[in-house]
Each structure stands twice: as structure tokens, then as C-alpha cells.
Amino acid sequence: KVDMGTEPMADSPEEKLTKGIGGLPKRLAEYAALDAKFAKWRAVITIKGTELPTPANLEQNALDLATYARMCQEAGIVPIVEPEVIMDGPHTQARCEEVSEKVLTAVFNAITEQGVSVEGMILKTNMVVPGTESGEKATPAQVADATLRVFNKVLPNHLPGQAFLSGRQSEVEATANLNEMNKRGPHPWKLSFSYGRALQDSALKAWGGKPENLAAG
């Protein structure tokens, strides 16, 4: 794993850009020589009221994701494109839906402009959920409705698949929401998961790194 990290955007320090485009073709050639088949680039999108995200942040993150994807394909590596609208904050589910649509629209416009083969990439993005501080609770049906509305508007039918990130959802929430979406299929694209926390969190908490808790974990 090579994590180049993020940096504040010059004109909007509350927003972030992912570092690492410089020198990426050389690094990808090294990874391909080591038999790497997939790579992932994560762009973090912050919601704050109606001010953030700014159009400039959306455009730059979309361009970086598309540039990375093109470079991956040129190196013979499948790009996993991850624009994440993070859950932190008091924003509503409706605001998350609005921003998610803008983000994915910008990303696929940039992918087209960069000449990326959509058939040779995987999308990894967020579900449309309320912010963690909103006090709003969305049911699986509401999450499925909102997320699929965005996807049906924006995602190309020839995209092979979308692997959801879990954000801060529990394994129960993330699984129930994904299950509800797939119950409404078939869809033009496969809907799957790429969860870390949502598959391991309960087990890790039960274990806590202590040998005596191994069975509980």
C-alpha cells in the first residue's frame, strides 16, 4: 500500500486534494512489474452548508481521478476510482444526494475528456446517507431510493460495477442498504462492496488485541 496522503486546497483550506499525480506513471510501471492488477485513488469531498464543496474542488478532484485512471490503464492496471462524499457533518440526506450527483457528474465528464475506458474501471463511491450530525435517520429503502436516483442519472450503462465504501456505517446498516439496492435490480452495473470497517469493526472491538478475547472476536 502506498498512501500519498492529502493536502488542503490552496484557495479553500477546508477542502482537500489527494497528492501523488506527479511521478505516477513511473510508480505505476513499477507496480505493474510487480504484477499489480488494480490500483485505487481516493478523493475526499467535504460538505459544509451550501458553501462546500466548491466548484473548483469538484473539478480538480475529478480531473485528478480521471488522470490517474488514464495513467493506470496505460500501465495495464485496472483503476478503482473513489470519490467519497464523507458523512461527517450536519448535512441532510437531500444535500448528500445533491452533492453526490455533482461529484459523479464531474468525475464522469473528466473521465470522458481524459479518454478513460469506462469498461476497464471500477467505481467506488458513497451511498447517499444523512450526515453523522444531522439527527436524521434514513431507512434502507430511503438510502436505496436516493442512491439509485443519482446512479441512474449519472452512471454510464457500460460501467462494469460499483463497489460501495461503508463510510461510518455499521456492518448491519451497510449490508442492509446494499441488499435493498440489489433487490431493486437488475441494474446496468453490478453493485457490490469494498468494506473495511463495516466487515471488521465489531470483531476488532470484541477482540481488542487481547489473546483472552480471541474467541469473542
pLDDT along the chain (217 residues), means of 10: 80 95 96 97 96 97 98 98 96 98 98 98 98 96 98 98 92 94 97 85 90 95
Q: Which residues pair with 193 in a beta bridge?
A: 164
For the entire predicted model, the pTM comes to: 0.92
Omega cis (within 30) before 186? yes
- What is the C-alpha separation between 177 and 192, in angstroms, rounded? 11
Q: Which residues pair with 83 in a beta bridge?
A: 43
Active-site residue flag, 82: yes
Q: C-alpha distances in angstroms, 66 versus 59, 140, 172, 199?
A: 11, 31, 32, 29
Q: Kindly name the residue from 15, 16, 124, 173 that is annotated as catalytic.
A: 124
Active-site residue flag, 124: yes
Per-residue pLDDT at 90: 97
Q: Which amino acid is at 145?
A: D
Q: Kindly name the residue from 15, 16, 82, 173 that is annotated as catalytic.
A: 82
